[in-house]
């Protein structure tokens, strides 16, 4: 009975730590240190700013000086990633040997534009893999994705060039990362 109680205490402690870690504001600085902070942004646009206890003043969240940040109400961590548009922050929605990111912009008459980027092993930055708008070179994007997952039989068996939806891409990347972590 005592062993069961001890086991349950360990599980609940771990879960509460995970939950509290996800519900906090933090930045990961250029040194790789995770630092608690406060954020502020203007309702009129402009850049996001953060303040740590050590500095006491608000500084811009710059993708060259901040590796990642998380705001307590955000679903995802925002990571600084090299893209064809330069170094920008993207929402990291899958993490592992292959990272999957998304970028959301605008809203209005035609809805939000969403672009998804993919990066393997942090090499060469992230490449645009899918968008909710018409993009050129769909065949090139499919070929890139197929090449990225080719070294993982569990993921490559699931690839179907006729089902290249974002949901399918995310599911395959998730399976790829799980299979890669096991081996």
Quick: pLDDT tens for 8-51. 344 444 444 344 445 689 999 999 999 999 999 877 777 899 99
Is it the case that residue 6 has pLDDT exceeding 50? no
The model's pLDDT over 96-122, given as tens digits with 9 standing for 90+, comes to 999 999 998 876 666 788 999 999 987
Task: Give the strand order in the sheet containing 59-60.
Answer: 38-42, 45-51, 59-60
Percentage of the chain lying above the pLDDT 70 cut: 83
Measure the CA–CA gap between 93 and 102, rounded to whole angstroms. 7
Q: Average pLDDT of 66-91? A: 93
Calculate the CA 153 to chain-centre distance. 24
Residue 50 contacts residue 59 (beta carbons within 8 Å): yes
Total-model pTM: 0.80
Could you state, in order of their start, the residue ranges of all structural domains in the chain?
A: 24-74, 77-183
């Amino acid at each position: 009975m005592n062993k069961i109680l001890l086991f349950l205490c360990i599980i609940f402690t771990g879960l509460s730590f995970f939950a509290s870690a996800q519900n906090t504001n933090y930045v990961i600085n250029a040194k790789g240190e995770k630092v608690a902070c406060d954020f502020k942004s203007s309702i009129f646009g402009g850049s996001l700013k953060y303040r740590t206890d050590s500095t006491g003043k608000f500084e811009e969240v710059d993708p060259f000086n901040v590796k990642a940040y998380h705001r307590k109400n955000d679903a995802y961590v925002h990571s600084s990633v090299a893209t064809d548009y330069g170094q920008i922050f993207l929402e990291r929605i899958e993490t592992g040997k292959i990272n999957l990111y998304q970028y959301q912009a605008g809203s209005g008459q035609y809805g939000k534009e969403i672009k998804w980027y993919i990066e393997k092993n942090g090499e060469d930055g992230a490449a645009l893999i899918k968008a909710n708008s018409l993009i050129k070179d769909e065949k090139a994007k499919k070929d890139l994705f197929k090449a990225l997952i080719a070294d993982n039989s569990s993921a490559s068996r699931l690839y179907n060039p006729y089902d290249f939806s974002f949901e399918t891409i995310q599911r395959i990347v998730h399976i790829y990362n799980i299979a890669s972590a096991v081996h």
